[in-house]
Structure 1
């Protein structure tokens, strides 16, 4: 039985003319969780496996996993995350936080992220256009003031999630 979030997302997606990727299979989810070394959040896992493996939602759409819908650089959630975890010496010694996964691409290198290390699944925004020269990418992370389930419901109900008041 579908819960109200899945129903709301499917309605908004199809009524809005969006065509999500085929839902992710259990094998794809398991493969990606193995690559990441930790599980996807329960809500993210359900969205990817019940609504679609990316290709719908706000901005330039939700990203998928394992050959699902990519961002503009061709990266899926796990590929983007793993590339960020391997930052080089030009990144001012900063290491991408464990469990902070991109799931929505806004363009210009900006992403909404879900912190899967926290049970309530808080959402942050990564905007690499924010720091000045020689500043850490840590200064590029802002709270969107939402938890993942609420963020998805807000989009399904027509809220503009791009123009949020962001906070440090």
Structure 2
């Protein structure tokens, strides 16, 4: 089993175990994860985007679940990610081509995958300064590393890190922003 297959197995295990027997604060059971997406739905999303998803991101949606697992509120359902990408590309934010939002961290922060990078690097969109040129940061050099940070609790957004609101991120600006808008 190669590293990516092992990672998918670990993500699937955590994604499904985190839902079993859990209840929301209201006392209602937490809904099970959505089913993995059929290949046809993935192809429709890629056609709407105009680019292919990196293999690992595609596998998360087609082999683990159609969103709802992972950091914070979980991976966005692919349909919502496509809608956000389309809306942001049409907005005043000068959203970079090929950068798909994948997770919502609240307060307008989004984790995004650069679908045009060979490593599927993960970017952080942090628009609270109000300046589009200052809103993009490199969060992880690869999607695989980003997922491993969630799994092992070493990432700033992990519950296990204990960082919460006090985490002082030293963010590296994303150098590729200007070339992609």
Is 1:128 aligned to residue 141 of structure 2?
no
Is 1:158 aligned to residue 153 of structure 2?
yes
Can you give the 5+ residue segments of structure 1 that lack an aligned partner in the other structure? 67-75
The equivalent residue for 1:110 is 109
Can you give the 5+ residue segments of structure 2 that lack an aligned partner in the other structure? 21-31, 158-166, 174-181
The equivalent residue for 1:3 is 5
The equivalent residue for 1:73 is none
1:81 to 73, 85, 100: 85
After the TM superposition, which parts of structure 1 deviate over 6 Å for at least 4 consecutive aligned residues?
Answer: none
**Number of equivalent positions:** 150
What is the SS of the residue equivalent to 1:105?
Answer: strand
Report 1:1-168 matches (<5 A).
3-17=5-19, 19-66=32-79, 76-87=80-91, 91=92, 95-131=94-130, 135=131, 137-162=132-157, 163=167, 164-168=169-173
Q: Give the TM-score normalised by the residue count of structure 1.
A: 0.81
Greater gyration radius: 2
What is the SS of the residue equivalent to 1:143?
Answer: strand
Q: Give the TM-score normalised by the residue count of structure 2.
A: 0.76
Contact 2:146–2:155, Cα closer than 8 Å, also in 1:
no
Whose relative contact order is higher, 1 or 2, with alpha carbons under 8 Å and at least 6 apart?
1
Q: Compare the two structures and name the one with the higher helix fraction.
A: 2
Contact 2:84–2:101, Cα closer than 8 Å, also in 1:
yes
For 1:41 and 1:26, the matched residues in 2 are separated by 14
Please report how far the alpha carbon of residue 130 of structure 1 lies from its aligned counterpart in structure 2 after TM superposition.
2.4
For 2:147 and 2:77, the matched residues in 1 are separated by 15
Q: Deviations over 1:64-88 (max 9, x none)?
A: 113xxxxxxxxx110000001111x
Contact 2:8–2:60, Cα closer than 8 Å, also in 1:
yes
